[in-house]
Chain A
C-alpha cells in the first residue's frame, strides 16, 4: 500500500545509498523496464522492498497503440509487479509502438472516440493480466492533432469511468502541456474526477527558447520542481485531497538528499492540505 505522502523516484545511482543508509522515505517508485531483466538490479530492488513500499511505473507498454500491446512486455510487467508486490502500478496515456518498431518516447494520441475505444481495450487487457488496477498518467505534450474531438482531461475521465482504471495526475506535465498548447491548467485539473486520481507526479522541466522568440517547455526531469508547478500542485491536492506524490528526476540525477528535500516540501503542502480539510 502506498501512503498519501511524498515518495521519491528510485534510480540505479541511489541503490547503494538506500540500502546502506535506510533514509527516511515514505515510499519509492521505479521504472518497471529497468527491472525486467534479472541479476543485480532486481536483487537491490527486492532488498529495498523489504523496508519500503514500491510503486511500479511503466514507460513502454504503449497503452495507446492501435496495434494492441506487446504480450511479452505485459507478461514481464506482471511478473515484476507480482514479484515485488507493487503498491501501485501505473503507465501513460501515450503510444510507442507501431509496425513492429518501438519508439522510446511517450508519443501523443489524437483524442477521438476511436482512440478512446483503443485505449480502453488495451487498459482492460493490462488490468486483466496484471490482476490489479492501473493508474494512467497524462503525458507532457508538444503537439495536438487537428482531428481531436475530446479534451485530454475529459478523455482520461471517460477512460477511468469505462475501465475502472485510476488516474495518475502528473502536475508538471499538466503545466508543461498547458504552456505548450495554450490551455488552462487549473481548468484541466478541475475536469479530472477526483475520486479516480490515485497518485500525483512532480518533476522539473526546462524552457527552451528560440532566436525568433518562440519557446517550448521540455519535460526533461532534470531540475527541481518549478515554483509555478508547486502552486499548481497546491491547487491539485485542494481539488483531489492528499494523494501519494512522487518526486521524479531522470536527467543528471542528483544525490538522494536533493530528492528528499523536494519530497519534504511536497510533504509540507500535503500536511497543510490535510490540516485545512480537517479545519473545515
Chain B
C-alpha cells in the first residue's frame, strides 16, 4: 500500500504539471477516467489562484483587458504555486513576472501599476499592529535620541516608481476615459508612501528628498544618521510619520 506522503507528493506533482500518470495509478477510474477526475482539482486550484491575482491587480487587468490578463495569470499560476493557505500573500512576484513579459512592453508603465496595486493589497491586508504614540519617545533619554531606530507598521510600502502609477490606476479604475486621457503617462520619477491609516488606505506622494529620509527611517536606520543627512527636514519628517501612525515599534540601539 502506498504511503500517504508519497500519494500526496504524486498528487501535488500532478497539480503542478500536466503529467498525472504517477498520481493516476492510485486513483480509481470509475468509468470517468482518473486523469479527468484529477483535472477537476487542478482546474479549481488554478482558477482560484488566477481569481486571487484578479482581485489584487484590478487596474492591471483593465489596462491589458480581461482576456490577456487571464492568459498571463494562467502562465504565472502554472509556475508560481502558493506557499501558504493565506492567499492574501499570493502574487507578490507577479510584478517581476509582468516586467519580464515581452507582450507587456507596449505598456511600459504596467509593472509600476502592478507594484502600486501590490502595495495597496499589502496595506489592506497587513496584520493590525500598535502605532507609536510620539509622547512615548519623551521617555527615552535625550542623549540616546540619535540611537532611535523605528520599525514601520506592516502596512507601509515605500515606492520609487518611474511612471505615475497611482494616477494611472485611479483613472483606469474610475472607468473615466477622459480622466485617463488627461494622465501624463510619460516616464518621470514618482515617490509614494502607501499605508493603512486611521481612515483607510492612504497614498502620499512626496519629493525625492522626503522619500529618501522616510525610506531610511523605515529601513531602521539610526535617527541620528538621518538627522545628520538633513538636520532641517528630518525632525519634521519624523513627526509627520509618527502622526500618521507609520511606525509600530522602536529600539534604542547604537
Residues in chain A within 8 A of chain B (CB atoms):
33, 36-40, 42, 59-62, 65-67, 70, 72-73, 76, 95-105, 107-110, 112, 114-115, 118, 142-147, 181-182, 214, 216, 218
Contact = CB atoms under 8 A, between A and B. Distances in A.
Given A95-B8, A98-B11, 16 more contacts: A33-B87, A36-B86, A37-B86, A39-B124, A60-B85, A66-B3, A73-B85, A99-B12, A101-B12, A101-B83, A102-B82, A103-B82, A104-B82, A104-B87, A105-B41, A182-B30
Nearest to B37: A143
A37 B126 contact: yes
11 contacts: A36-B88, A37-B127, A60-B87, A104-B87, A105-B44, A108-B41, A110-B7, A112-B1, A118-B4, A144-B28, A181-B30
B242 interface: no
Contacts of A216: 32, 40
A107 to B, nearest CB: 6
A30 to B, nearest CB: 15
Contact of A142 (B5, B40, B88, B123): B40
A33 B82 CA distance: 14
A39 B200 CA distance: 8
A153 to B, nearest CB: 18
Find the residue from A40, A76, A98, A109 having the highest chain B CB count within 10 A.
Answer: A98
Interface in B195-236: 196, 200
A235 B148 CA distance: 67
A99 B10 CA distance: 10
Contact of B85 (A33, A147, A214): A33
Interface string B15-41: 110000000001110111010011011
A107 B85 contact: no
A59 B128 CA distance: 22
Nearest to A182: B30
Contacts of B129: 38
A110 B201 CA distance: 45
B31 A62 contact: no
Contact of A107 (B11, B30, B86, B126): B11
Contacts of A112: 1, 4
Contacts of A70: 84-85
Contacts of A110: 4, 7, 26
Nearest to B8: A98
Contacts of B12: 98-99, 101, 103
B49 interface: yes
B7 A214 contact: no
Contacts of A62: 85
B216 to A, nearest CB: 26
B81 interface: yes
Given A73-B85, A118-B4, A143 B38 contact: yes
A146 B27 contact: yes
Given A70-B84, A104-B49, A107-B41, A99 B9 contact: yes
Nearest to B124: A39
B125 interface: yes
A69 to B, nearest CB: 10
Contacts of B28: 143-146
Nearest to B7: A110
Contact of B5 (A37, A39, A67, A105): A67
B1 A147 contact: yes
B128 A39 contact: yes
A146 B26 contact: yes
A66 B4 contact: yes
B41 A145 contact: no
A107 B87 CA distance: 17
B8 to A, nearest CB: 4
Contacts of A67: 5, 8
B86 A145 contact: no
B155 interface: yes
A103 B81 contact: yes
A101 B88 CA distance: 15
A33 B84 CA distance: 11
B156 to A, nearest CB: 13
B133 to A, nearest CB: 19
Contact of B88 (A37, A95, A107, A143): A37
Given A99-B9, A114-B3, A40 B83 contact: no
A42 B1 contact: no
Contacts of B88: 36-37
Given A40-B124, A73-B86, A101-B81, A142 B41 contact: yes
